[in-house]
Amino acid sequence: MGETDVIDLLQAQHAMIRDLFDEVEQASAKDRAEAFTRLVRLLAVHETAEEEIVHPYARRKIDGGDEVIDDRLAEENEAKELLSRMDQAGPAAPDFMENLLMLRAAVEAHARSEERYEFLQLRAHTSEAERRSMAAGVKAAEAMAPTHPHPGTESATKNLLVGTPVAMMDRVRDVIRQTMGKKP
């Protein structure tokens, strides 16, 4: 992806997340697990990048930052809990599709709230240079989870992001902190 503005990158990821929900919903029973794993990886990458890079910045920079970000974090935590429960039960669980629709509604409402209450203001309160430097961490995270991996890259991706959603998020957090030059 060519974007170098962090907000453009995150909004493009919101669109990719919507596409992946479509893929999981439409997948045959045999392909559902693989599609769901790609969705879990992308959500781990996306939400962790926001939590590490963008939310702390927005908290300081935008009007009513504490309230806006506390609300977004609460939404993210709720979605993560559901995601973990779904991951544990597996895509063959009888309530998988019901939970998937619930997760989708929650994640999409959350993304709309970010775009409306956080990203608009963040764009107005930051310089292009600031948004470019924040994009570096998001790109490093995104590189860990190509949404349409071609043969050869899939095995490398698997090694990077495996296990439970929480384990994936921990791994993403380490990579972002290394990239952004913070101590893990």
Site residue total, Fe ion (CB under 5 A):
4
- What residues between 55 and 114 interact with Fe ion by CB under 5 A? 111, 114
Residues with Cβ within 8 Å of residue 71, at least 6 apart in sequence? 113, 117
Do 111 and 14 contact (CB within 8 A), yes or no? yes
Do 148 and 17 contact (CB within 8 A), yes or no? no
Among 21, 49, 50, 144, binds Fe ion (CB under 5 A): 50
Q: Which stretch binds Fe ion (CB under 5 A): 40-48, 85-93, 119-127, 156-164?
A: 40-48
Q: Which stretch binds Fe ion (CB under 5 A): 46-54, 140-148, 154-162, 168-176?
A: 46-54
Report the residue closest to Fe ion, judged by CB: 50
| Nearest distance from C-beta of residue 68 to Fe ion, angstroms | 12
| Nearest distance from C-beta of residue 158 to Fe ion, angstroms | 24
Q: Which stretch binds Fe ion (CB under 5 A): 24-32, 50-58, 63-71, 146-154?
A: 50-58
Sign for the pseudo-dihedral over CA of 52, 101, 9, 3:
positive
Nearer to Fe ion by C-beta: 27 or 106?
106
Nearer to Fe ion by C-beta: 52 or 114?
114
Label residues 112-141 b or e (16+ Cβ within 10 Å = b). Answer: eebeebbbebbeeebeeeebeebbbbbebb
Angle between helix axes 29-49 and 165-179 (nearest 10 degrees) is: 40
Nearer to Fe ion by C-beta: 32 or 140?
140
Dihedral-angle region of residue 152 (phi above 0 means left; psi in -120 to 50 means alpha; beta otherwise): left
Taking the chain, what is the end-to-end CA distance rounded to the nearest angstrom? 26
Q: Which stretch binds Fe ion (CB under 5 A): 24-32, 43-51, 142-150, 157-165?
A: 43-51
Determine if 51 is a binding residue for Fe ion (CB under 5 A): no
Name the site residues for Fe ion (rule: CB under 5 A).
47, 50, 111, 114
